[in-house]
């Protein structure tokens, strides 16, 4: 079935439907980046420690990961428009409550509400796009434009959040969601056409949802806290065991349930598994290393938070340029080649970070970020579209929720792995440098400078190791992309239910 009209079958321009879901996605991701900027002010206002404040972010990540597959399944069952609007409405309510929170406990509870609601966006938005744009070529281009809103939100977060916090206080970063959210809800009610799976659904898999939630909670918790706890500490081992046992029990439940929350048949689909693995590797390598860039810029280059945010503006522009270009190649070049080349370019950008040091200027960060971002954006639509094209449209919601889950876990896993590599590499480099260095002076001041120089050199060496390792990980992802067997070059259509 080919449909190249600019309007959906209900007469609404497709561009307005796409803009509607972009607003929801942008707002949800913007909230995540802005709140991190507000944490220092929240720490002061609530008189809490930085360590305690970390639970504000951890609680959000946990709740978001747990509920993504649940919303994806609900959207397929009861209607994607209903779920999208419900999630959006609860998110706005949670934002207002978070803006009115009075202590750490209330903030954590309200952030969990936000996270639960915000996790509805990704699977339902992707399903709405797949339902609206029926041909592979159109859908891929739309997914490319939609995907670029993730990058835009990541960059605009610091740019919008900084002035808001400075002029109106930290509560404004939550309350600003109200006026934008009202516009987004109005657009969703007006423009989005209801769609749901035509397949007869059994009762909702509550037991599977609970057990999956336990498994994901334990996994994300240890990835977030493991470095501080110690990877072989009692707390970490409890999390490992909980994750393994819950996952095994979850698989057993899903095999028996007539309508499982995660249909295990997806993992018998080679295209789906290959694309999922590629996404996991790339997001692990990129998220795990890029989170260190702001730390490096502020620690070694002396930049403030706002100045650091400016460094990321070209990154957003490059993703927004790359994503639609990559999407337009659908029907012209095999997806696996676009993904492989884009991943290779991203890996080169990451490798260039291995040359930065305390003498680096802004361009030494902007250029690698831009190269990496263009590569990432260039293949983003194709990565997402392969997942959408590999399954019936009636199941895009749950398939995209598995993709979102894989990306979230990959990001958390990457951050944990590379933070550990950074710490271990720093310690090893200090010992190695100290072994081959000697001090012959008698001044305590000079000796302190000697020690600090060794520590500085060790930390720079550690950053270099992290960026080289992440580049290698992403380049492995580029090589593995060539094994993806999907070929949407000829515009093979998937079945679309109306």
* Mean pLDDT value across the chain: 81
Please give the distance of CA 340 from its chain centroid, rounded to a whole number: 20
Q: In terms of pLDDT, which residue wins out, 224 or 244?
A: 244
Condensed to tens digits (0 to 9), the pLDDT of residues 240-282 reads 999 999 999 999 998 888 878 777 888 888 888 888 888 888 8
pLDDT at 199: 64
d(CA 305, CA 324) in angstroms, rounded, equals 30
pLDDT tens string 77-114: 788 889 999 999 999 999 999 999 999 899 999 999 99
Residue 247 CB neighbours (<10 A): 17
| Nearest-angstrom CA–CA distance, 125 and 413 | 25
> What pLDDT score does 451 carry?
67
Structure tokens at 203: 């009762």
What's the rounded Cα separation, in Å, for the pair 374 and 465? 23
Fold of 1-205: Growth Hormone; Chain: A; (1.20.1250)
| 150-194 pLDDT tens trace | 767 777 777 787 788 878 888 998 998 888 889 989 998 988 888
The C-alpha atoms of residue 337 and residue 479 are separated, in whole angstroms, by 10
pLDDT of residue 198: 62
Q: Of the ranges 302-306, 329-333, 358-362, which is most confident?
A: 358-362
Q: Which of 3-7, 121-125, 372-376, 436-440 has the lowest mean pLDDT?
A: 3-7
Backbone torsions φ then ψ of 7, nearest 5 degrees: -115, 150
Residue 446's pLDDT is 66
In this prediction, residue 121 has a pLDDT band, given cuts at 50, 70 and 90, of confident
Q: Give whole-number Cα distances, 315 to 32, 213, 365, in Å.
A: 18, 34, 10
Q: Report d(CA 125, CA 382) in Å as an integer.
A: 17
Q: Is 412 exposed, middle or buried (0-12, 13-18, 19+ CB in 10 A)?
A: buried
List the beta strands (DSSP E) in 157-306. Answer: none
Q: What is the mean pLDDT of residues 131-146?
A: 77
The residue among 244, 177, 133, 144 whose CA lies nearest residue 34 is 177
Residue 327 has pLDDT above 70, yes or no: yes
What are 408's two structure tokens? 């979230």
- pLDDT higher than 80, residue 392: no
Per-residue pLDDT tens for 62-73?
788 788 888 888
Question: Which range has the worst mean pLDDT, 13-22, 195-204, 482-491?
Answer: 482-491
Q: Give the number of C-alpha atoms closer than 13 A to the C-alpha of residue 447, restricted to the C-beta side.
A: 6
**Residue appearing with tokens 């884009």:** 342
Q: Residue 430 has what pLDDT?
A: 80
Mean per-residue pLDDT, 313-330:
81
Crossing angle of the two packed helices 362-390 and 292-300, in degrees rounded to 10: 170
Number of C-alpha atoms within 13 angstroms, CB side, residue 189? 9
457 or 246, which is more confident: 246
CB 74 within 8 A of CB 83: yes
CA pair distance 47, 44, nearest whole angstrom: 5
CB 139 within 8 A of CB 31: no
- Residue 333: both structure tokens together: 């070049």
Return the sign of the alpha-carbon dihedral for residues 410, 243, 397, 268: positive
Asked whether the predicted pLDDT for residue 496 surpasses 60, the reply is: no
Max CA distance (Å), the chain: 83
pTM, two decimal places: 0.75
Residue 245's DSSP bridge partners are none
Q: Measure the N-to-C terminal CA separation of the chain; round to a whole number of Å.
A: 12
| Fold topology of 266-498 | Growth Hormone; Chain: A; (1.20.1250)
């Amino acid at each position: 079935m080919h449909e190249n009209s600019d309007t959906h079958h209900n007469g609404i321009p497709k561009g307005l439907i796409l803009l509607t879901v972009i607003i929801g996605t942008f707002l949800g991701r913007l909230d995540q980046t802005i709140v991190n900027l507000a944490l220092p002010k929240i720490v002061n206002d609530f008189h809490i420690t930085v360590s305690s404040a970390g639970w504000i972010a951890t609680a959000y990540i946990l709740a978001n990961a747990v509920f993504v597959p649940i919303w994806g399944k609900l959207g397929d069952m009861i209607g994607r428009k209903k779920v999208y609007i419900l999630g959006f409405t609860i998110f706005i309510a949670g934002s207002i409550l978070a803006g009115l929170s009075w202590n750490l406990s209330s903030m954590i509870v309200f952030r969990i509400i936000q996270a639960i609601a915000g996790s509805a966006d990704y699977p339902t938005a992707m399903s709405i796009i797949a339902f609206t744009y029926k041909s592979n070529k159109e859908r891929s281009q739309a997914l490319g434009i939609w995907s670029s809103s993730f990058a835009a939100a990541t960059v605009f977060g610091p740019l919008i959040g900084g002035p808001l916090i400075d002029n109106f206080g930290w509560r404004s970063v939550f309350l600003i969601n109200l006026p934008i959210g009202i516009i987004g809800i109005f657009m969703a009610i007006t423009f989005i056409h209801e769609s749901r799976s035509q397949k007869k659904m059994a009762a909702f898999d509550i037991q599977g949802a609970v057990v999956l939630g336990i498994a994901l909670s334990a996994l994300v918790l240890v990835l977030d806290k493991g470095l501080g706890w110690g990877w072989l500490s009692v707390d970490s081992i409890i999390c490992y065991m909980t994750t393994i046992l819950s996952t095994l029990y979850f698989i057993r439940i899903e095999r028996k349930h007539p309508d499982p929350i995660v249909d295990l048949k997806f993992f018998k689909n080679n295209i789906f598994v290959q694309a999922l693995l590629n996404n996991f590797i790339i997001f692990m390598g990129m998220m795990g290393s890029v989170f260190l860039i702001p730390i490096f810029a502020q620690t070694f280059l002396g930049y403030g938070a706002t100045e650091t945010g400016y460094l990321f503006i070209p990154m957003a522009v490059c993703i927004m340029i790359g994503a639609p270009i990559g999407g337009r190649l659908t029907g012209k070049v095999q997806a696996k080649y676009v993904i492989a080349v884009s991943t290779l370019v991203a890996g080169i950008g990451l490798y260039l970070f291995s040359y930065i040091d305390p003498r680096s200027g802004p361009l030494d960060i902007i250029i690698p970020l831009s190269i990496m971002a263009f590569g990432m954006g260039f293949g983003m639509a194709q990565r997402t579209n392969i997942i959408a094209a590999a399954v019936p449209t009636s199941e895009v919601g749950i398939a995209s929720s598995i993709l979102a889950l894989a990306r979230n876990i990959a990001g958390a896993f990457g951050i944990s792995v590379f933070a550990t590599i950074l710490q271990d590499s720093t310690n090893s480099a200090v010992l190695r440098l100290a072994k081959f260095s000697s001090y012959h002076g008698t001044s305590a001041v000079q000796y302190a400078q000697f020690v600090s120089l060794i520590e500085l050199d060790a930390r720079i060496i550690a950053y270099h190791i992290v960026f080289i390792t992440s580049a290698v990980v992403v380049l492995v992802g580029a090589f593995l992309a060539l094994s993806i067997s999907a070929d949407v070059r000829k515009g093979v259509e998937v079945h679309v239910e109306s």
